[in-house]
Structures are given as structure tokens and as C-alpha cells.
Amino acid sequence: MSKLILLRHLQSQWNKENRFTGWTDVSLSEEGIKSAKEVAGKLAGFKIDKVYTSPLIRNKETVSLILENLGKKDLPLVVDKALDERNYGKLQGLNKDEMKKKYGEKQVKLWRRSWDQAPPEGESLKDVFDRAVPFYKKYVEKDLKERKNVLVVASHNSLRALVKYLENISDEDIINLEMPTGSLKEYDF
């Protein structure tokens, strides 16, 4: 048996400021950094053989802090843009509450959580799914079949795309899936 663990990166500075981050490379907040020990503690009982993440700094910082706290800095690490957050297009950098006032709460929720509605000049979850899931199938599934335990540290929507695939969540129901910063999801194979 092998185990897959999905970890959303720790709180970034723009998460703290309630801004759309997307592809903008933003570091972790002080709170995010401080939470690393607690989150690593939740992983302490797991044997991890390999780690996958995206090149976004908040994901790489999370990996570094978690592995440091676990005393496992030498694990094989694969970094790939397929696991990047969705591109929020013209919303990147803007305050989420201000955009709700401007466009309406329902529209902003559709842009953030629906399957196929993209923010202006950005990506939909379907777009993220179409890059993250083939990467997962090609590399992560191969490791799992070889009985390796894999940790994937990524951003909200790339993880939502993987969870949609793994749990076969419908296009309509995916809007209800949230993964807070620093949260874990585990799967046994």
C-alpha cells in the first residue's frame, strides 16, 4: 500500500491580505511560517518517499519548512508548473472583498470555485485540471504504483483539481470544495 498526501501551502502574505494571488509569486506570511511546525507535526507519523510542488515561492517555502521540521531535507523533490495555482488574470493582486462589491458575491464565487468559469483573462478550474491531472497521472500515479508515499504541496485550485479527479467530484459539486491553507488530505492506494 502507498499513501498520497495533499498539502495546501501555508498562509501567504496575500492570503492574509485577502488578495487574489494566482501566478503572482508571493512569500509566506509570518503566521504561515509560524504554523509550519504544527502542520509538520501532522505529517510526523508518515514515511514520505517523494515530494512534488510548483515553482511558486509559497509552495517551495512550505516544502522547505515542512521538511526541515520533519528532519527530512534530502527527500527527492520534483518542481513543476503543472501544479501552479490558477491564473486569476485581471483579478490578480486585487482584494477579494472589493471585487465582490464590484461584481457581486455570486460572480466572484463562480470565478473562484466553479468548474468552467474563468475570471477575466484567467483560468477556470477546468483549465487547471487539464494541466494538473495529466501531470499527476504521468508522474505521481507512477510513484504510487511503485509503493512510494508521495507528498504534493501545491496551491488551492491545483489541489482542488486533483481532489476532483481522485474523488470523482461532479462539475456542479466542485464549487463546494474548499481547502484552507496548511490543510491536508490523505489517500491510501
61-111 pLDDT tens trace: 999 999 999 999 899 999 999 999 999 999 999 999 999 999 999 999 999
CA atoms within 13 A on the CB side of 152: 31
Establish whether 92 is an annotated binding residue: no
> Among residues 68, 108, 85, 70, which one has the least CA distance to residue 12?
85
Give the domains, in start order, of the chain with CATH numbers.
Answer: 1-85 (3.40.50.1240), 96-121 (no CATH)
**85 catalytic, yes or no?**
yes
Establish whether 107 is an annotated binding residue: no
Q: N- to C-terminal Cα distance for the chain? A: 6
How far does Cα 151 stand from its chain's mean position?
Answer: 12
Strands laid side by side in the 50-53 sheet:
77-79, 50-53, 150-154, 3-8, 184-188
At residue 95, φ and ψ (nearest 5 deg) are: -75, 130
pLDDT the model gives residue 149:
98
Q: Has this prediction a pTM greater than 0.85?
A: yes
15-28 pLDDT tens trace: 999 999 999 999 99
DSSP notation for 120-163: TTS--HHHHHHHHHHHIIIIIHHHHHTT--EEEEE-HHHHHHHH
Establish whether 12 is an annotated binding residue: yes
Q: Report angle CA 74, 78, 82 to the nearest 5 degrees.
A: 155
The angle, 0 to 180 degrees and rounded to 10, between the axes of the packed helices 57-70 and 36-43 is 60
Query: Which residue in the list 9, 61, 123, 156 is annotated as catalytic?
Result: 9
Establish whether 112 is an annotated binding residue: yes
Establish whether 88 is an annotated binding residue: yes
Q: What is the pLDDT confidence band of residue 60, given thresholds at 50, 70 and 90?
A: very high
Set of cell numbers at residue 141: 500515479
**9 catalytic, yes or no?**
yes
Amino acid at 142: K
Query: Which residue in the list 31, 38, 85, 167 is annotated as catalytic?
Result: 85
Q: Which residue reads 455570486 in cell numbers?
A: 106
Compute the average pLDDT of residues 124-144: 98
Establish whether 117 is an annotated binding residue: no
